A and B are shown apart, each in its own frame.
Chain A
Amino acid sequence: MDISILPPELIRIVISAVIIIAFVFLNAMVLGYAERKLAGYIMRRPGPMEVGPQGILQLMIDGVKLIGKQLIVPKESGHALFRIAPLLAFIPVGLAFVVIPFSDKLQARDLDVGLVFMLAIMSVNVVAVLVAGWSSNNKYSLFGAIRSVAQNVAYEIPMLLSLLSVVLMANTLSLKGIVLAQHPVWYVVCQPLAFIIYFVAGLAETNRAPFDLPEAESELTAGFHTEYSGMSFSLFILAEYTNMFFVCSIAVVLFLGGWSGIPLPFYAYSGGIWFLLKVYALLFVMIWVRWTYPRVRFDQLLNFCWKYLIPFSLVNLMLTAILVKLWPVVF
């Protein structure tokens, strides 16, 4: 077939969709492997060792196994919703890639409201978790879902407030604009508190330990995805890992200067290397945190949010607003 008869825009969309899906799977594989390896080293054991040199093919085999498994739909579940939930978790994941500025030129669309768009897409995940827990018709799943909603609603606030202080300084919501605005100094230098608050809230948003109450194995079997098996289970896992990637890429874009770093040849594209390096460094911290802390209790979780994170982010936002206003007056 002569592909030149197709509209070029369509070809572009198809190619980028394929790249995005491939990247989602690759990212989940890298993170899954890194997580198990690092968990191993922190406990002074080697992690996966059997499949391939140093167990590097383990995640591939796991993927094959999950694809080969039967999809079990419990008799008493809400069938349609039960099947929709994993898709609901997975589909938005592709969308958020549209606005991530990997480097100067590697960005699909630079939306004016890129940041809002990305946060909106990421919070669809809560709906997926709620639908999954509800339709499973199982008390563990339902508890997981309820916890997830309570936690996400609570932690959305400090997260947005801390991001807002950066937006005040950058004076734009476009992700590329924010990266360009932090030319001399990264915002992590002038907004360290906002960075920490964002990162903590981000851990809670992605349901990562120590905030992994929605899937707490020791209390809820597996929380909202207890009833899921095979590919629908792996869609949840893929979504979780991709959401981790998003949380870290927002942190990199807003606080760590995006793609800026030591200039390499073809910098407009190769800046992506710096971007990915920073993102994976933050992901390393996430994994490190997970294997260090025990899970918090539910009251501790909410207390921490309402008593510490929200007041601090509010104060931080107010101070930022005043400083931004005063800066041109004083200097």
Chain B
Amino acid sequence: MNEYFSDLFSGAKSLLVGLSVTIREMFKPVVTVQYPREKLEITPNFRGHTELVKDPETGTHKCISCMMCQKECPSDCIRVKGEKREGVKGLALVSYSLDFTKCSLCGTCVEVCPTAALEYSQEYELAGYSSDEFRFDLLKRLEER
């Protein structure tokens, strides 16, 4: 009999506690972000696809076409093309193609680059109709920026 009433009281109490929790939550501000209309700041640590760094001094990339990234990339998705040019030390970059369909975002290319010419972009809204749209020419992208 004792158990009967203690069950009743503890049960009733926990029900009331539950109700008070939900009513308090109800008056707290909404946390939903209405995505396409509102966007959150993304963290600087976000790893998008790689991008060539724009050097503020020269206004162009810092790549010396050493091919380190191409060699190190575990997914084999980088093709760097450089050529000898008059008045340029080392090789001048002609094209830097990144096959983002294969990239695993491991970050090796960013780490090995001797001149820190690569960075992660903040791009996360990537959607397209064909895989060709994800074979980027980073040099062209840099020029467009």
Contact = CB atoms under 8 A, between A and B. Distances in A.
A288 interface: yes
Interface string B6-26: 001000000100110111011
Given A41-B30, A44-B28, A45-B32, A288 B8 contact: no
Q: Size class of B's contact patch?
A: 10 to 19
Given A44-B28, A46-B30, A288 B23 contact: yes
A17 to B, nearest CB: 38
Interface in B7-60: 8, 15, 18-19, 21-23, 25-32, 34
A221 interface: no
Contacts of B30: 40-41, 44-46
Interface string A32-49: 000000101111111001
A308 interface: yes
A292 interface: yes
A52 B17 CA distance: 36
Nearest to B20: A292
Nearest to A311: B4
A293 interface: yes
A46 B26 contact: no
Nearest to A43: B25
A65 B28 CA distance: 33
Contacts of A42: 22, 25-26
Nearest to B34: A49
Q: Size class of A's contact patch?
A: 10 to 19
Nearest to A46: B30
A288 B19 contact: yes
A289 interface: yes
Contacts of B15: 293
B34 A292 contact: no
A233 interface: no
Given A44-B31, A49-B34, A308-B8, A292 B19 contact: yes
Contact of B32 (A46, A288, A291, A292): A46
Interface in A258-296: 288-289, 291-293
Nearest to B12: A196
Contacts of B23: 288
B19 A289 contact: yes
A199 to B, nearest CB: 12
By CB atoms of chain B within 10 A, which of A38, A43, A45, A292 has the most? Answer: A292
B24 to A, nearest CB: 10
A44 B32 CA distance: 7
Interface of A: 38, 40-46, 49, 288-289, 291-293, 307-308
Given A43-B25, A46-B32, A46-B34, 7 more contacts: A44-B32, A45-B31, A46-B30, A288-B23, A292-B18, A292-B21, A308-B8
Interface of B: 4, 8, 15, 18-19, 21-23, 25-32, 34
18 contacts: A38-B26, A40-B30, A41-B25, A41-B27, A41-B30, A42-B25, A42-B26, A44-B25, A44-B28, A44-B29, A44-B31, A45-B30, A46-B32, A49-B34, A288-B22, A289-B19, A292-B18, A292-B19
Instruction: List the 8 closest A-B pairs by CB distance, nearest first.
Output: A292-B22, A45-B32, A41-B26, A292-B18, A46-B30, A42-B22, A42-B26, A44-B31
